[in-house]
């Protein structure tokens, strides 16, 4: 996945490319350059689609993304919980670009679906036969007053930024007493289980260290339950009780005083606010589509966060049939996860290929998504479900609705291999 905060000064270890990209695009041209398929975004969705298109024999595939580093973001929770090193989550972007794909190292700033063009930050214009939108989403740190200034300091961290995940672990392992607050914002966020997983990992660590009784742990979620699927909600309620976590439902962080270590929590059910003094705060920022998409003609009027209007089954734009979207930026009624992308990508590619051949889109996505819910150092349950919130288990003979050690090892070691060696190569 792309660098989550490209405005930050990157470290040389994390972002230096180990080799040049053979297909990297040269200096800007004076006239628009046409590609049969143009993919915006070099994260999970963009790379997976590019690899599948190349394996299907599409010759002219271009991928637009300026990032040097590709991140496997699901591992950041384990980094923040002290269970994985940050280096295990990254690869140089040059190493994951599929062979034969032209890498355009630029940032998109506008799309014109009538003219079939995409404009970049340098003013360069690319035209396309088919467009795949997969730029991810924008972390709106300014969406909560005080959060942008405080994060990374004053005991405030977030596993939603790669550079801060190690700081989360530093705060957790140093804590012996006091108050820890874990929050989640309203609206769609990527990996909706991540805001509470780190609370369980922290509490499990404190329990093992014998200090859990000295720490007040508050988990504030804007949803009416811990999870939308009842069977998994019950399992998470049990985990929260086990650790003595104060669960505040329909509640979110609405203001932060970093230097004063004071978090304002608003209960949307009653309208009441409470100021909680904290020693540790793990905050998840509000999230939305990149502004150039939110302000453009492809944004869904029904999405207050600017996500792309997308047919939930074909992953095609209802208004512009040459445009497709998947991953975090698509306005779909399912959780934004890498597992969802793994099921979306083959559907999108099949329908895109059908379009190139003048045939109707017949492949269907059923909304499958998966949330690996880590509840302890070596315990996890795997929440798999579809658009109708029906459990959709994919591993035979295993009850993944309860906490299991083998599921934790799957997340820590199995899924990263499936990601780098399977998804990103168009094989899984």
164: Cα separation from own chain's centroid:
15
For residue 345, report the phi and psi dihedrals to the nearest 5 degrees: -55, -50
Structure tokens at 383: 């929440």
- Alpha-carbon distance 111 to 107, whole Å? 12
Start-end of H helices in 98-175: 147-150, 165-174
Q: Are 133 and 167 in contact (CB under 8 A)?
A: no
**Active-site pick, 191, 215, 341, 352:** 191
Q: Which two tokens stand for residue 379?
A: 């315990």
Gyration radius of the chain's alpha carbons: 21
Contact 202, 83 (CB under 8 A): no
Residue 290 annotated in active site: no
25 noted as active-site residue: no
Kindly state the helix (H) or strand (E) to which residue 271 belongs, with its residue range.
none
Beta bridge partners of 63: 39, 103
Q: Which of 96, 371, 374, 392 is catalytic?
A: 371
Closest listed residue to residue 412, CA positions, set 370, 369, 379, 368 = 379
**Residue 256 backbone dihedrals phi, psi, to 5 degrees:** -140, 130
**Distance (Å, whole) CA 128 – CA 126:** 7
Which residues are known catalytic residues?
A: 191, 371
């Amino acid at each position: 996945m792309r660098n989550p905060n490209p405005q930050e000064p990157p470290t040389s270890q994390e972002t230096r490319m180990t080799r040049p990209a053979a297909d990297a695009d040269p200096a800007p041209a004076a006239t628009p350059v046409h590609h049969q398929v143009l993919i915006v975004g070099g994260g999970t969705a963009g790379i997976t689609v590019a690899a599948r298109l190349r394996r299907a024999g599409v010759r002219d595939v271009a991928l637009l993304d300026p990032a040097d580093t590709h991140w496997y973001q699901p591992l950041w929770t384990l980094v923040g919980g002290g269970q994985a090193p940050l280096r295990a989550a990254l690869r140089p972007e040059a190493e994951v670009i599929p062979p034969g794909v032209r890498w355009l190292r630029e940032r998109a700033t506008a799309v014109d679906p009538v003219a079939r063009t995409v404009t970049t930050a340098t003013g360069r214009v690319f035209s396309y036969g088919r467009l795949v939108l997969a730029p991810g989403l924008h972390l709106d740190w300014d969406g909560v007053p005080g959060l942008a200034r405080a994060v990374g300091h004053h005991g405030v961290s977030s596993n939603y930024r790669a550079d801060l995940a190690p700081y989360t672990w530093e705060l957790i392992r140093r804590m012996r007493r006091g108050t820890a607050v874990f929050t989640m914002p309203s609206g769609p966020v990527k990996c909706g289980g991540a805001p509470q997983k780190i609370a369980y990992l922290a509490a499990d660590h404190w329990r093992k260290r014998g200090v859990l009784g000295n720490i007040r742990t508050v988990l504030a979620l804007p949803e009416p339950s811990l999870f939308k699927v009842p069977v998994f909600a019950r399992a998470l309620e049990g985990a929260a009780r086990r650790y003595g976590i104060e669960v505040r439902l329909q509640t979110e962080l609405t203001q932060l005083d970093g230097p004063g270590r004071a978090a304002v929590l608003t209960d949307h059910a009653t309208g009441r606010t409470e100021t909680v003094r904290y020693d540790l705060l793990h905050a998840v920022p509000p999230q939305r589509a990149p502004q150039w998409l939110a302000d453009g003609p492809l944004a869904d009027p029904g999405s207050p966060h600017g996500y792309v209007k997308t047919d939930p089954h074909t992953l095609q734009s209802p208004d512009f049939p040459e445009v497709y979207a998947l991953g975090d930026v698509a306005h779909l009624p399912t959780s934004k996860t890498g597992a969802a992308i793994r099921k979306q990508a083959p559907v999108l590619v099949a329908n895109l290929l059908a379009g190139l051949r003048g045939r109707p889109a017949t492949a269907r996505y059923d909304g499958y998504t998966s949330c690996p819910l880590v509840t302890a150092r070596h315990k996890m349950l795997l929440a798999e479900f579809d658009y109708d919130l029906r459990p959709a288990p994919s591993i035979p003979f295993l009850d993944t609705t309860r906490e299991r050690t083998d599921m934790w090892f799957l997340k820590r070691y199995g899924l990263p291999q499936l990601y780098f060696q399977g998804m990103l190569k168009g094989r899984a």
